[in-house]
Structure 1
Amino acid sequence: MLSVLAVTVPVFLIIGAGYLAVWRKVFTQGQVDGLMVFTQRFAIPCLLFLAMTRLDLSQGFDGRLLVTYYSGSLVCFAAGILGTLFWLKRGAEDAVAIGFAAMFANTVLLGIPIAERAYGADSLAPNFTIIAFHAAFCYFVGISAMEAVRAGGSGLLGGMKTVARKMSTNSLMIGVALGLLVNLTGLPLPAPFLEAVALIAGAALPAALFGLGGVLVQYKPEGDARGIVLCCGVALILHPAWAWGMGTLLGLGQGPFRAAVLTAAMAPGVNSYLFAAMHGRAVRISASSVLIGTAVSVASVSGWLLLL
């Protein structure tokens, strides 16, 4: 157990340091927002770019891995919707927002550093395979569902157009796409350029974890407590449990199996709040689920790592 805590606790200590720095006004919210702009628009895209250029496409894109993880995402989305409709007794639009929060795991800011510390940098190819599709898949599902339940919504076609527009300007997706382009074409890149990109990428995860802690200060634990329990329970327990069962059924190898379960075990990501705010539905529950889910995942992620 101590070896597991040695993997997870340092990651959450960095998040806690960011939280304390903003809470005690050592950093202003504006300074942390600037740090997150650097990580989200520059450093993490550089990290994903390098990862995609080095990814062994003949082994990394395993269809069973994607089915294992993303079938769980759909199950969590459905569970969040059904729980909201029949347990919380809230409307369909709130149900979609809560379902999205239950589905959208923090695959990058939490998933990558924990997996790297647990199994080493050489183990991350399956994690990056999941990440390559994550934002596009979740936003497509969430926006399409929201448009479908809204009177006069543009439905599936409108959801596809909205997702395409958002993804075409998303820095993380641009980093993934450019890295895959270099990988597929074999385009040689100058060594000084690669070294500069690697230097920026090296700052990505610690800066992003610190910034995540600072961002969480503005998310207050308020709203329907049952909604927060529903969202966090689905995200932290149901998703990794489903990935475990599906990965076992499909006969995933050890590396992809670990990646699927551990990535599924991550807390709801900040995009959960952004999606809710964009549609003006279940905003407090989504924001609180990001904050509380991140805090609770210190224990839950450690538990899944111990099982793995």
Structure 2
Amino acid sequence: MLAVINATLPVFALILAGWLSARRQLLGPSGGDALNRFVIYLALPALLFHAMTQVRPEQLAHGGYVLSLIVGIVVPFVIAFCVKRPRDARRTDVAIEALANAYANSGFMGIPLCLVVLGPDSLAPAIIAVLMTACVLFGVTITLIEFDQHQGQHPLRTVLKTGRALLRNPLLLSPVLGLAWAFTGLQLPLALDRFIVLLGDAASPCALVAIGLFLAQAGAGGTPSTVARIVFAKLIVQPAVTAVLVLFVFDMPPVWAWTAILMGALPIGTGPFMLAQMYHRDAQSASRAILVSTVISVLTISALIALIQHQGMLHH
């Protein structure tokens, strides 16, 4: 229970800090917009770039583990596209909801929690889970959104405009460049590496403060049924699908299996909120789902940790 509290309390505190800042108007009327732009164009690209520079080919050689993560992401992601919606519903909004269904708070909460619960042997599989979430899932969602933004034109022109938009998108370009650098086998110069790490470390806290600012300014919002559907897909469907695959379908070390389950059971990260803000879509459902899933995860992750302890996997 203490491990869960230690992982979730900073999240609540940062959201609360943003909420109080908005209530007291500490950052001014344009503070939230400036903070969002900082995260989208500077901090988050730095985080994604640096994460991808840490990839090693041998880390991606665990086919069963990677496939389990992918299927665990795809199933809740697809749920959003199976929901009956009004004819005028934008695919951009559906894609953002789909992202929320599967986007775990893996970097900010996942890695520290895995280290506390499962020990240092969980670091490598946890990093792979972060990459699958923050880079692969994020990249697919941005591609769907950009294609929707340019639909209604000649198919070839749509493809070309979407391609150009993707090449200019810092949230997609940065991990691609990071992966390209990783495959060179070269180390980043120390000063550059420290700069990127410092900038990237600001992404999660600033995004959480931005959520607090948004919640205070937007007031109550988000369709309850939509928020409930997102939270159910994230906290129940994703870890359940992942658990079936890592425990009963693929053969892998127990630490890797429980790392996959624990990472899948995490609450929603800030990615869906940031994309909603970036593309000027309604961010209320995303922000509410992040908050609600984080609250509920205190109970669900506590139950999961108890199960891990029962299996004799708890790190001492």
> Alignment identity in percent?
22
SS at match of 1:180: helix
Q: Which residue of 2 aligns with 1:262?
A: 263
1: CA distance between counterparts of 2:21 and 2:128? 34
**Contact 1:32/1:211, CA 8 A, preserved across alignment:** yes
2: CA distance between counterparts of 1:98 and 1:37? 20
Structure 1's unaligned 5+ residue stretches are none
Q: Which residue of 1 aligns with 2:141?
A: 138
- Deviation track 1:172-195 (CA, whole Å, cap 9, x = no partner) reads 322212221221112354322223
2: CA distance between counterparts of 1:301 and 1:8? 9
- How many angstroms does 1:300 deviate by? 2.9
Specify the code of the residue in structure 1 equivalent to 2:182: N
When the two structures are superposed, what TM-score results if normalisation uses the length of structure 1?
0.76
2: CA distance between counterparts of 1:102 and 1:59? 30
**Contact 1:244/1:261, CA 8 A, preserved across alignment:** no
Distance 1:34 1:8, change over 3 A: same
**Contact 1:139/1:163, CA 8 A, preserved across alignment:** no
- Deviation track 1:15-47 (CA, whole Å, cap 9, x = no partner) reads 221122113312224123222222222222222
1:113 pairs with 2:116: no
Distance 1:51 1:139, change over 3 A: closer
SS at match of 2:30: helix
**Contact 1:262/1:301, CA 8 A, preserved across alignment:** no
- Deviation track 1:132-172 (CA, whole Å, cap 9, x = no partner) reads 2122212445666x69xx9x6777x7876565333312223
- Deviation track 1:48-80 (CA, whole Å, cap 9, x = no partner) reads 222222222211464444433443444334433
**Contact 2:65/2:256, CA 8 A, preserved across alignment:** no
2: CA distance between counterparts of 1:192 and 1:6? 31
Q: Which residue of 1 aligns with 2:68?
A: 68
1:181 pairs with 2:180: yes
Q: Which residue of 1 aligns with 2:206?
A: 207
Question: Is the deviation greater in 204-213 or in 216-225?
Answer: 216-225
Q: Which residue of 2 aligns with 1:222?
A: 221
Distance 1:197 1:182, change over 3 A: same
Aligned residues: 292
- Deviation track 1:231-285 (CA, whole Å, cap 9, x = no partner) reads 332233323322232333334543465246525643272156359856xxxx4xx
Q: Which residue of 2 aligns with 1:298?
A: 294
Q: Which residue of 1 aligns with 2:314?
A: none
Aligned match of 1:129 in 111, 131, 134? 131
Aligned-residue CA RMSD in angstroms? Answer: 3.6
Structure 2's unaligned 5+ residue stretches are 306-316
- How many angstroms does 1:91 deviate by? 2.2
1: CA distance between counterparts of 2:15 and 2:142? 26
Question: Is the deviation greater in 287-296 or in 220-229?
Answer: 220-229
Q: Which residue of 1 aligns with 2:89?
A: 94
Distance 1:189 1:136, change over 3 A: closer
Q: Which residue of 2 aligns with 1:4?
A: 4
SS at match of 1:237: helix
**Contact 2:101/2:230, CA 8 A, preserved across alignment:** no
**Contact 2:35/2:206, CA 8 A, preserved across alignment:** yes
SS at match of 1:209: helix
1: CA distance between counterparts of 2:293 and 2:212? 14
SS at match of 2:267: coil
Distance 1:304 1:97, change over 3 A: farther
Distance 1:138 1:212, change over 3 A: same
SS at match of 1:27: coil
1: CA distance between counterparts of 2:252 and 2:288? 31
2: CA distance between counterparts of 1:299 and 1:159? 41
